[in-house]
Structures are given as C-alpha cells and as structure tokens.
Amino acid sequence: MVFFLILVIVSCNKPGPPLPTPTPSPTDTFSITGTWTWVNQTGPSWDNTNQTFDTMIHRTLAFDTATGIVLITHNDSIPAQNYLQVSLPLILVSPEIDTATFEVTAGANGCAFISQQILTIDETQYGIQLSTDTLRVYPNPCVSKALDTYIRSN
C-alpha cells in the first residue's frame, strides 16, 4: 500500500512551464561599465532644459567595474563632491579629472520609499535610471527634482 502511494505521488509530478529568464539584478554594475557623456539637465534647478551646447559644459563619466573606480572629466566647478549633477553657480574651468569609487545597489533614495537602483560615488548617493544607452541621475527626490541625463559614448 505504501509503495502504491509513493508511486502515485511520483507519477503525478509533471514538469511545469519553464521558469522566466531572470532580469538583471539591481546591483549588477556591468550595465554601467563604459563612458557616459552629459547631455542635459531638466528640473527646477534650471527652470527649463539645458543642453551641453547652451552651457558649454563637458562632463564624462568612465566607469570601470573591475576596479570600482569612476573617472569624472569635467570643465565646470563641482561643489561638495557632487560629481554627477551640474549645479549653479556654474563656473567653467580648465578640464579636470577626478577619481572616485562607485557602487550600484538597490534601495530607497531619500523619501522615495520604493526600491530602485542607487549609485554611490564615494559617499554620495544618487538615484539612477539605467538603460542600454541612457543614464539618468537624480539626487534625493525630497530636496531636488533636477534630473541629469548622460548618454553612452562607447
């Protein structure tokens, strides 16, 4: 009788549908690898959209996931190590290169109580929206609604 019961249970296990392909983890830093060029900023900081040709700002980010280092090349002033956001007052300078560490994680940024991708550069956190060719960066959404956009250069 026990043998018959085991036989029935084992024979009733049919294979189910295939599991869905997993999506990239929010902590997957491979997607951010490469060089990104700043193209504009939208939001109340500027009261409109500013393109690179309007401001003469040149900023690139080069992420190396093997080392966890990002090189920030820029010709504008960066107050208080705010590497990713163009901010006022704008002071154009000779091109400079800053080096920082970075990490991509999942979590909440500021008062946004939803899980999202967080990019930490040194100790500053930014919310990010990352696609194949676009990187959108915003600081704490409770403080600023500015959104900086970078496009993949390579």
Q: What is the pLDDT of residue 48?
A: 53
CATH number, domain containing residue 113: 2.40.128
Q: What is the pLDDT of residue 103?
A: 92
Task: Output the CA–CA distances (angstroms, integers) from residue 124 to 69, 71, 103, 109, 139, in the order listed.
Answer: 14, 15, 10, 11, 9
Domain for residue 47, yes or no? yes
Domain of residue 49 covers 24-152
Q: What is the pLDDT of residue 69?
A: 96
- Determine phi and psi for 15, rounding to 5 degrees: -65, 135
Q: What is the pLDDT of residue 147?
A: 84
Domain for residue 139, yes or no? yes
Nearest to 130 by CA among 61, 44, 55: 61
Domain for residue 6, yes or no? no
Domain for residue 87, yes or no? yes
pLDDT: is 141 or 55 the higher one? 55
Domain for residue 5, yes or no? no
Domain for residue 7, yes or no? no
Share of the chain above pLDDT 70, in %: 62
Per-residue pLDDT reduced to its tens digit, 99-120 = 999 999 887 766 666 667 889 9
Amino acid 56 reads M
Considering its fold, how many domains does the chain have in total? 1
Domain for residue 11, yes or no? no
Q: What is the pLDDT of residue 63?
A: 96
State mean pLDDT over 121-145: 83
Distance from C-alpha of 138 to C-alpha of 43, rounded to nearest angstrom? 10
Domain for residue 141, yes or no? yes
DSSP category for residue 25: P
Q: What is the pLDDT of residue 2?
A: 54
